Every structure is written in structure tokens, then in C-alpha cells.
Amino acid sequence: MNPDIRVRFAPSPTGYLHIGGARTALFNWVFARHHGGKLILRVEDTDKARNTEEAAAAIYEGMRWLGLDWDEGPHVGGDFGPYFQSERTDIYKRYLKKLQDAGHIFEDQGALRFRSPREHVIVDDLVAGKIDFDLSNEQTHPDMTIRRPDGSWIFHFVNVIDDIEMKISHVIRGEDHLSNTPKHIELYRALGAIPPQFAHIPLIHNKDGSKMSKRDQGASVDYYIKKGYLPEAVRNYLCLLGWSPKDNREKIPIDEVIRIFDLNNIVRGHATFDPDKLHWLNGEYARELTDRAFYDLAVATLESAGLKVDNFPEEYVHGAIQTCKGKINTFDELPAYCDFYFTDDISYNPDGVAKHFTAENKPRLEAVRKAFDALKTFNATEIEATIKSTATQLGVKVGAVVHPTRLAVTGSNAGPSLYHLLEILGKEKVLARIDQALAMF
């Protein structure tokens, strides 16, 4: 354990929490937890035109949803605040004066610029390796602005000052910042400060090889919250974007990730985001939920979809939802999968109607209705036996009876176990729905 390990996640609140930003926050959080260090949340809100409180709130919500708590920062406090750059102007002025007094600053058309020493800068990155940056050519590497003519600060300057002031030991960030690092090291040297260790993690790309941008579907954490993903599954998947446990496992609990996480196991090259793999992984986590947890999430999802779940007896709701467990990957799939339990306004699948509501199937469905009507005990065991015996009497395979029956009572070609869902719906409702379906033939 090393309490001197201090890392930071420093988002700019200009929109939602991007999935790439979430992965950066996650790697910093895991690294801090592995070493017994601290994660600092620092809000880089110097861009007054684009920064909003709503965007900052989305960052907090996304991190909390993923289970990424921070040790210092907004809503938590700490000894190295303020944690909003907009509140740190006096600190920046103090460091600016230090650079001015040492002759490192000159004015150019109202802007303040840092005079580069024009040298090679070696960046010894924990992921990218040792890289020699040649900053000697003023044409390709002009002196960087640190303060605009309007008095606003440039990212490069305040970023470095904050890392110095907050005693950041490791900077873990996206590879797109690697080219900025030699400039930052020049500032550290000019201020007589020791740079932190850098680790630039691979960027996230789409399956087609393009860089994931804010415009891409699934680029925000909020998308997964609204789609009914489980935070544990999304967090697990993000862990695997650029890092590997070296044993090809895809489902790995976060406690074990924390235990074995090593920056040396971060791969070079971009990480490919595969929505299908995340969808599958979420299903694996959904199947492991306790019955109570699944029930609570299911009810919340169904109610959000406008289904009046609370109009039904609790026992009925429990039984209905239990037939769905293990059958869906994300909770946004649930309303379409089981809405027939909670509404009599059945909408029949057009393909199913064309395939199963045929003249040939009408007498079969009538035979099923007659057999159901004669049942004294309407449970899954008796229902299954009745359907099978009806199929035998009609001289057809069981499927020829099952498919039109399912479509008649649910409106769908697929769904929970037919025998159990019929038991839950109850004899009276099943007969009424079959009658409604028969009227369509």
C-alpha cells in the first residue's frame, strides 16, 4: 500500500460523461484502489462558454452509477482545493509570476506565451515507453500560449499547475494527450517541479476502426443507464478496453480487477468497443442478480415504460417477472418481452399473424380453448399435459398448437415459458384472449 499515490480524473463539463472519459476515470480509480492511494476529481471548467452545471452533474451521476467514488473533489472536499479550475485563478497568477520573474514568459499580441528552451524532451511513459520529442524547431513547435488576451487560461498551463499543487504522482489519461506531454514537462522544469509519472492509455475505437466520438450511439454513460444496463457489467467491460488480466477472462469481479491491476498490462494500440460483447456480458450479470434485485429493477423499468404494474397483485407481479429472469440481456428489453402480463391491449406481431393465424390453425386453437375450459386445475403441469394431448388428438406436432396459442395470449412469437405464463395469466384471461384471437381468423 502506498498512500503517496495520487491520481486524478479531470473532465471538462461540456456535455455528458463520454465512455472514453469513464474508462479513464475507471483506470485511475482502480490504480488508486490497488495501491491504497487517492483519486482526485478535478473539474476543468475554464471554458465558460461551454461549461454547464448540468454537464458537471452528468459527470457526477455517471461516475456514481459506475461505482467510482472519489477521495477529494466536488461534494467531498479535501486539503488541495478548490477542485474547480474556475476558482483557482489566484493560484495560477502566483505560478505565472514565478515564470515571469524567471524570464520564461513573453507577451505576444496581448497573449502571454511560454518561451520554450528549444530542446529534446524524453517522455518515459509507463504504457507507451520512452519517446524522444524534438521541440527544437520553432516552426513545428511554437511557443505555447498560457493565457489568452482576454485573461482566460490555456489548458496546458493550468493542468500542470493543478497537478503540482495537488501532488499528483501519476497522470493516467488518453493517448491523445501524449503529444502534449513534452510541453508539460517543459513547464515542470521551468517551475523546478518534478513531473509525475505518465501513462497514456489507448483510445477507444468503434468496430469499423473509427475513433469513437461524441456523436456515436453508445458514446455516453447516460445511454447505458437509460437502456437498462447494469453498472457492474459496463464497468467490467470498460476494464477490458485496453487492459487484460492475461488469462482471457471476460467476466471478472471488480475486487479482483483492483487486486491484479497493473499498468504494465495495458496494451498498445487502440481498444475496440464491441456493443454486442457488452450486451452479452450484461446478460451474464443480469442472470446472476438475486430474485429481489431483478424484481426491483424490472418493476422500475416496466413502470417507466408506462405499464401499471401496481394495479396487479404482488404475487402475480412476482410470478410474471420471475418468468423473465435469465431471458433478457438488458432491462430495456423487458417491456416488449412481457408487457402482455400487464395490459389487455394486445398488439399481435404481423409476421406471427401471417404465419400462425391461418385457416389451418383455427380449429387447433379452438381445440386448445375447449381443452383449457375443461381444466379444473390451471397450472403449468396440467397446461403442458393438455397441450400435448390436444396435439396428439389432432395428429400434429406440439409446435403446431403451441405457436398459435402463444401468439393468441401474448401477441408475440417468443417470450417466457408458455406453460408458466399461461398459469400466471390465469384461466379466465387466457380463454378471453384466445376468443379475441379467434375473432381475427
Per-residue pLDDT for 3 more than 80?
A: yes
Report the distance separating Cα 1 and Cα 35, nearest Å.
Answer: 5
Q: Please, what is the end-to-end C-alpha distance for the chain in angstroms?
A: 72
pLDDT band for 49, please (50, 70, 90 cuts). Answer: low
Task: Name the residue among 276, 81, 115 with its Cα closest to residue 189.
Answer: 115
Do 405 and 437 contact (CB within 8 A), yes or no?
no
Do 184 and 195 contact (CB within 8 A), yes or no?
yes
Per-residue pLDDT for 431 more than 90?
A: yes
Q: Percentage of the chain with pLDDT > 70?
A: 100
Q: What is the mean pLDDT of the chain?
A: 94
Note the maximum CA span of the chain: 100
At 59, the amino acid letter reads I
Q: Helix, strand or coil for residue 70?
A: coil
pLDDT band for 357, please (50, 70, 90 cuts). Answer: very high
Per-residue confidence (pLDDT) for residue 52, from 0 to 100 = 78
At 235-283, the pLDDT tens digits run 999 999 999 887 878 999 999 999 999 998 898 888 899 999 999 999 9
The stretch 163-188 carries a mean pLDDT of 97
> Burial of 340 by CB count in 10 Å (0-12 exposed, 13-18 middle, 19+ buried)?
buried
Q: Is 214 among the residues known to form the active site?
A: yes
Per-residue pLDDT for 341 more than 70?
A: yes
Per-residue pLDDT for 50 more than 80?
A: no
Query: For residue 7, what is the enclosing H or E element?
Result: strand 6-9
Pairing mode, strands 204-205 and 271-272:
parallel
Per-residue confidence (pLDDT) for residue 308, from 0 to 100 = 93
Report the distance separating Cα 46 and Cα 407, nearest Å.
Answer: 58
The stretch 68-86 carries a mean pLDDT of 96
At 92-117, the pLDDT tens digits run 999 999 999 999 999 999 999 999 99
**CB within 8 Å of 23: residues ≥ 6 apart:** 201, 204, 238, 241, 242
Report the distance separating Cα 143 and Cα 136, nearest Å.
Answer: 11
Report the distance separating Cα 195 and Cα 38, nearest Å.
Answer: 18
Place of cell 498490462: 265
Q: Percentage of the chain with pLDDT > 90?
A: 89
Report the distance separating Cα 182 and Cα 317, nearest Å.
Answer: 61
The stretch 331-340 carries a mean pLDDT of 96
CA angle 69/75/227 to nearest 5° reads 55
pLDDT band for 216, please (50, 70, 90 cuts). Answer: confident
Catalytic residue, chosen from 214, 308, 388, 397, is: 214
Do 414 and 327 contact (CB within 8 A), yes or no?
no
pTM: 0.91
Per-residue confidence (pLDDT) for residue 228, from 0 to 100 = 94
The stretch 345-357 carries a mean pLDDT of 93
At 298-309, the pLDDT tens digits run 999 999 999 999
Please provide residue 134's backbone torsions phi and psi, each rounded to the nearest 5 degrees.
Answer: -95, 105
Report the distance separating Cα 52 and Cα 28, nearest Å.
Answer: 24
CA angle 62/63/69 to nearest 5° reads 155
